[in-house]
Amino acid sequence: ASAIDTLRVSTPAGNVPLNLFVDRVPAPRVSQIERLDGKRVYYVRGNAKEQGAGAAIVQDVRDWVDQAGIGSDVEVRFEGADEDTQEANEFFRSAALAALFMMAVILLWEFNNFWQVILTLSAVIISTSGVLVGIQLVLPYVSILMIGTGIVALAGIVVNNNI
């Protein structure tokens, strides 16, 4: 028996063994406390059993976290492939706006007419939205990198055909 098993607690009824109040259950202890920016962190890592869209699996986990009732003092952050996907989304969003602006400047320089520039760029936007709808209907999983590259090529073709 350990020293804890023989410990007695003083109560109004006299000294009582601690095991009347406490159930001791053996469990692994934390051998290392990890901190990030001064906050205690736990890393939960996992791999999917089946091949599939990582974004769908992450969304399932996000839904579970929302329903789990985790306290507001706990921050849940997804890293790895999900973080890379978010960065790629932000990059392609800003790159698309920059590309549209550069196309507008070049077309305005070439046409000297705002109406033709607006007409040409609207064709780019409409064709891009058509591609995105088609991809969502046909493909179960899409790569942001593939979509971004395809849309840049599509924009070049649409602008060339509209000139």
Domains of the chain, residue spans: 8-67, 81-162
Query: Do the Cβ atoms of 55 and 82 come closer than 8 Å?
Result: yes
* Contact residues for 111 (Cβ-Cβ < 8 A; gap 6+): 117
Bridge partner list, 11 = 14
* Contact residues for 159 (Cβ-Cβ < 8 A; gap 6+): 103, 107, 120, 123, 124
* Contact residues for 7 (Cβ-Cβ < 8 A; gap 6+): 17, 18
What are the Cα distances from residue 120, in Å, to 4, 16, 88, 110, 163? 80, 87, 27, 12, 8
Neighbours of 54 (CB within 10 A): 15
User: Using alpha carbons only, how large is the chain's radius of gyration in Å?
Assistant: 29
pLDDT in tens, 85-124: 788 888 888 988 898 899 999 999 998 999 999 999 999 9
Reference 8, options 26, 25, 22, 24; nearest CA is 22
Query: Do the Cβ atoms of 30 and 23 come closer than 8 Å?
Result: no
pLDDT in tens, 35-65: 888 888 887 777 766 666 666 777 788 888 8
pTM of the model: 0.56
